Amino acid sequence: MKLTVDRLHVTLDHNPILRDVSLEAREGDIVGLVGPNGSGKSTLLRAVYRSLRPADGAVRVGEDNVWELSPRAAARRTAAVLQDAGGNTTGLTVTEIVALGRVPHHGLLGRDGAEDREAVSDAIDRCGVRPFADRDYASLSGGERQRVLLARALAQSPQLLVLDELTNHLDIRARFELLDLIRATGITTLAVLHDLDLAARLCDHLVVLHDGAVAAAGPVLEVLTPDLLADVFGVRAGTERHADGVIRITYAAQPLPNGGESPEHNHARLAETAER
């Protein structure tokens, strides 16, 4: 389903975190949310998965504003995989973790039915976690855990996936496998990614957040220009599509002396360094 974020303003403890943020993900698109630390990426996600109420603006999945739905109704549309530090899942098996995806589909009296078991089993298969389905989640490696959490999200039968740094701490092979998995689901996805190369590889579109506002949005090659990379990320780099169709970013050896100022400034400095 289509995701529309419309003129979103979010404040935390009276500090504005997001200012007038709008973005759109068409049905089936994977949209990457990138930006330096503290630019407001996770805050934007929280407003989307209904954890932090925006001061103004709307988040629509399909036609409905998620903030006008009940928490459970919203969670039947949007599934999130987060870096949650507060949890303590010791003692839950992989299957039990995946089954948590069915929580929003039941009230207090609901019992697990055939539909639930099917959704859980299907998610387990799709994410390839069947071999350790009965093991304690706490005993898994980082890559295995992320696949289990993705399976939990799929078991939710969502129309929108929200991913926060899904591939952190994973080795390169596990990253690629996970990205392929997400592509294969065909579900509209909004993903916060730290690694720009990975973002370029996975996403159809990118949205760049800088200081709580959208600095750029659009197809990867149009967004990740040398100017923007210098401006927002404070690095000298170029982006190009290689012969194999993969978009790669090439970074200069040294970062800019003082990242994130006006473009003219950076251009001047670039020219300066080039002369030397």
Residues that bind another protein (CB under 8 A): 46, 49-51, 70-76, 78-80, 82, 84-93, 96-97, 100-104, 106, 108-110, 136, 138-139, 156, 162
Closer CB to another protein, 95 or 239, in the complex: 95
Which residue from 134, 127, 123 is spatially nearest to 95, judged by alpha carbons? Answer: 134
Closer CB to another protein, 162 or 196, in the complex: 162
Closer CB to another protein, 67 or 176, in the complex: 67
Closest distance of CB 12 from another protein, Å: 11
Closer CB to another protein, 61 or 196, in the complex: 61
Task: Read off the DSSP letter of residue 224.
Answer: S
Give the chain's radius of gyration (CA, Å). Answer: 20
What DSSP assignment string belongs to 128-194? Answer: T-GGGTTSBGGGS-HHHHHHHHHHHHHHT--SEEEEESTTTT--HHHHHHHHHHHHHH--EEEEE-S
Closer CB to another protein, 156 or 266, in the complex: 156
Could you tell me the end-to-end alpha-carbon distance of the chain, in angstroms, rounded to an integer?
52
Sign of CA dihedral 84, 85, 86, 92: positive
